[in-house]
Amino acid sequence: MATDGAPPRWDRKMQQRLAHGEAAALGELYDRFASLVHTLAHRVLEDEAAADRVTREVFSHVWEHPGDFDPKEGSLRSWIAGLTHRQAVERLRQCQSDGAATPEEIEEKVRVASAAARADYIVTSMPAPLRAALDLAYLRRLDYRRAAAQLGVTEDEARRRLRLGLQMLSTAHRGPRVVAPRAHGGAL
């Protein structure tokens, strides 16, 4: 985002193109964000078909309501990720309430899925050097010395990248807590 608070030019241009009904804009947006949308939805729902439905719903909403995007609130990517999260959580609640799960079990599943989706979003949106350091250290199980050598940076820089990446990831669990209403109507 620019320092004056203006959204990136691509976001503004995309919103204008969508508002004018330019089908090619929707295709470009889909190409850019479909993987993110599907991954976030799948992370929440743990169901391929449901994630496919949420992906279609999100892009349908974007196509039908491009004016809902407010550039002052953040990037187009963040707005789409937020839409995805809300759609997936709503679908999860609907599916769970149809079964034998208690409201507390449903809300706990929503909380866990929301934290996982936030973590996925944080990782996909963090700068590439931080993501690469985390990948080497945690997925490939390299210590910071070997990660530094692989990245071509000093050991201090590798440790800094890992620390910063982990700090960013730690915020995933600080999202809003969902509190189920009390059964006896008491105040929360």
Q: Give me the chain's average pLDDT, please.
A: 83
Answer whether residue 44 shows pLDDT above 80.
Answer: yes
Q: Cβ distance 71 to 19 under 8 Å?
A: no
Most confident by average pLDDT, 58-72, 101-115, 131-145? 58-72
Sign of CA dihedral 167, 170, 172, 174: negative
Q: What is the pLDDT of residue 60?
A: 96
Mean pLDDT of the 121-132 span:
83
Residue 179's alpha-carbon distances to 12, 56, 96, 111, in angstroms, are: 36, 29, 16, 10
* 141 phi/psi in degrees, rounded to 5: 60, 40
User: What's the pLDDT tens digit per position in 82-100?
Assistant: 899 899 988 888 877 666 6
